[in-house]
């Protein structure tokens, strides 16, 4: 064999070895990644080869599957009351992927979760039957909030304070996931994606906004826990009007006739006195206010239920004037409705925050539990005494103050209104907030609710937490107590 042929043979042998090594690497180490790749057509074909498992609300599925009648994708997703439950389910689309519960539990719903596999079925090549996702949502609460929000742009969350079960997650305007579940729904997808009102955004969990005066509950909790004031009925050291420290900017109260000068915490919550809580935040200092906010859940980027919520934010690095403004839920403070519902939930539950969750169980096709999520996994946020005092003050807000539209006959209802500035120099329509709780002593039922209305057809002068948000919360609380 001459030298040239020998070299060529060696090179060919090396190339063959390289191909063998690469093939082995792909089969042994990259096979799962390639199989799971979102662009792998075989994966999508397998996913929609049979009806998907269901997302279940109060024993009834709110999802389904139907035969496509053509193409290599045998089934596509359908939704019952799609617009009502979209903030819970998310969507499962053959073209655009999956979100929220549809995405988180995709392997359970399409039958690929290893816990579902039967060795005999695998040996015979039989498809694994998918499992179901059982939610904690109360359909009456969900519908009450959805109907009450109506054509308004906004969101709401309802939580059972004792268990942490999420009873309602509402975001409007909503959308019907059925319309984007197939492969030929490009026009519907484009319309939703380009809509200025952003119907695909889950406002209840993923759109933090300035919480306005609802944040005063957090500041009041910090003041009581710190000992700055011993009781909600102690008079505070609060001038009216109040000049922001280090500036010439004068902060006034919305109601100029309200008795806010040196008011007690109870009176300051009842009349929503900005001057009291701005001064209180400055007196406490940003570190103490932040510490309390973080105990309630602010600045937590890992908040999952199991859908991950956007972090609500209490800022850092502020001067004294900025710290004072955070006392009224302004400057760079932001919160989701979920976060403000958690604040009311902890106060309603004697200072204990039960971890919010909207899935109770994952089950196989026979109904056997694959995994479950515990109720009542609690953490102490404030003392029982502080929680009791703030509940008392919140009841005063509803009975005699700015939250009267949330009253429910025969139930204990406490709340806090908020009207948050929006835009430069508050040039846009303000956000209307309400956070609250309700208890029925005869049945033992409880609920905590937070509502934000971003936009409505109300005149700017009529935008208020009591006028817009409190009636929505009242309807959701009433539905939960039935």
The catalytic position among 92, 174, 181, 213 is 213
CA-based max dimension of the chain: 108
Distance (Å, rounded) from C-alpha 464 to C-alpha 453?
9
Mind spelling out the 3-state secondary structure of the chain? Answer: CCHHHHHHHHHHHHHHHHHHHHHHHHHHHHHHHHHHCCCCHHHHHHHCCCCCCCEEECCEECEEEEECCCCCCCEEEEECCHHHHHHHHCCEECCCEECHHHHHCHHHHCCCCHHHCCHHHHHHCCCCCCCEEEECCCHHHHHHHHHHHCCCEEEEEEECCCCCEEEEEEEECCCCHHHHCCCCCHHHHHHHHHCCCCCCCCHHHHCCECCHHHHHHHHHHHHHHHCCCCCCCCECCCCCCEECCCCCCEECCCCCCCCCCCCEHHHHHHHCCHHHHHHHHHHHCHHHHHHHHHHHCCCCCCCECCCECCCCECCCCCCHHHHHHHCCCCCCCEECHHHHHHHHHHHHCCCEEECCECEEEEECCCCCEEEECCCCCEEECCCHHHHHHHHHHHHHHHHHCCCHHHCCCCCEEEEEEEEECCCHHHCCCCEEEEEEEEECCCCCCEEEEEEEEEECCCCHHHCCHHHHHHHHHHHHHHHHHC
The rounded distance, in Å, linking the Cα atoms of 455 and 261 is 32
Residue 416 tokens read as 């806090």
Assess whether 383 carries a catalytic annotation.
Answer: no
**Comparing C-alpha atoms, which of 136, 145, 139 is closest to residue 172?**
145
CA distances from 183 to 38, 45, 76, 291 (A): 14, 12, 9, 48
CA distances, 416 to each of 55, 150, 430, 433 (Å): 34, 22, 16, 8
SS (H, E, C) 251-296: ECCCCCCCCCCCCEHHHHHHHCCHHHHHHHHHHHCHHHHHHHHHHH
Comparing CA positions, the residue from 320, 211, 261, 264 lying closest to residue 252 is 261
Active site residues: 213
């Amino acid at each position: 064999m001459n030298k040239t042929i020998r070299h060529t043979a060696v090179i060919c042998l090396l190339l063959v070895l390289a191909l063998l090594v690469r093939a082995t690497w792909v089969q042994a180490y990259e096979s799962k990644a390639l199989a799971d790749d979102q662009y792998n057509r075989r994966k999508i074909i397998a996913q929609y080869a049979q009806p998907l498992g269901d997302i279940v609300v109060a024993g009834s599925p709110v999802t389904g599957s139907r035969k496509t009648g053509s193409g290599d994708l045998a089934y596509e997703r359908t939704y019952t009351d799609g617009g009502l439950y979209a903030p819970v389910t998310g969507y499962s689309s053959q073209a655009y992927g999956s979100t929220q519960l549809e995405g988180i539990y995709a392997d359970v719903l399409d039958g690929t979760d290893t816990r579902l596999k039967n060795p005999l079925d695998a040996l015979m090549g039989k498809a694994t039957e998918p499992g179901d996702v059982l939610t904690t949502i109360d359909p009456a609460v969900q519908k009450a909030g959805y109907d009450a929000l109506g054509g308004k742009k906004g969101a709401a969350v309802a939580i059972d304070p004792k268990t942490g079960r999420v009873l309602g997650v509402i975001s409007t305007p909503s959308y019907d996931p059925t319309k984007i579940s197939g492969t030929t729904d490009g026009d519907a997808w484009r319309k939703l994606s380009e809509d200025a009102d952003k119907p695909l955004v889950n406002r209840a969990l993923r759109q933090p906004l300035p919480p306005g005066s609802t944040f005063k509950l957090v500041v009041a909790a910090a003041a009581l826990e710190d000992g700055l004031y011993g009781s909600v009925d102690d008079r505070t050291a609060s001038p009216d009007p109040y000049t922001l420290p280090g500036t010439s900017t004068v902060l006034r109260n919305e109601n100029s006739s309200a008795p806010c000068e040196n008011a007690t915490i109870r009176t300051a919550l009842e009349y929503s006195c900005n001057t009291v809580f701005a001064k209180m935040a400055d007196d406490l200092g940003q570190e103490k206010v932040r510490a309390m906010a973080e105990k309630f859940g602010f600045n937590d980027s890992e908040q999952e239920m199991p859908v991950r919520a956007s972090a609500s934010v209490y800022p850092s690095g502020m001067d004294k004037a900025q710290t004072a403004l955070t006392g009224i839920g302004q400057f760079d403070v932001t919160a989701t409705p979920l976060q403000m519902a958690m604040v009311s939930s902890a106060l309603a539950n004697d200072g204990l925050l039960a971890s919010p969750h909207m899935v109770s169980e994952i089950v196989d096709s026979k109904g056997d539990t694959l995994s479950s999520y515990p109720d009542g996994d609690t953490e102490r946020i404030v003392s029982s005494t502080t929680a009791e005092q703030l509940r008392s003050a919140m009841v005063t807000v509803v009975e005699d103050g700015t939250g009267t539209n949330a009253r429910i006959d025969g139930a204990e209802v406490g709340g806090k209104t908020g009207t948050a500035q929006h835009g430069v120099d508050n040039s846009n329509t303000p956000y209307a907030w309400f956070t609250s709780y309700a208890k029925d002593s005869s049945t033992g039922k409880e609920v905590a609710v937070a509502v934000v209305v971003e936009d409505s057809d109300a005149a700017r002068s009529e935008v208020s937490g009591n006028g817009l948000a409190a009636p929505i919360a009242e309807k959701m609380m009433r539905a939960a107590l039935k």
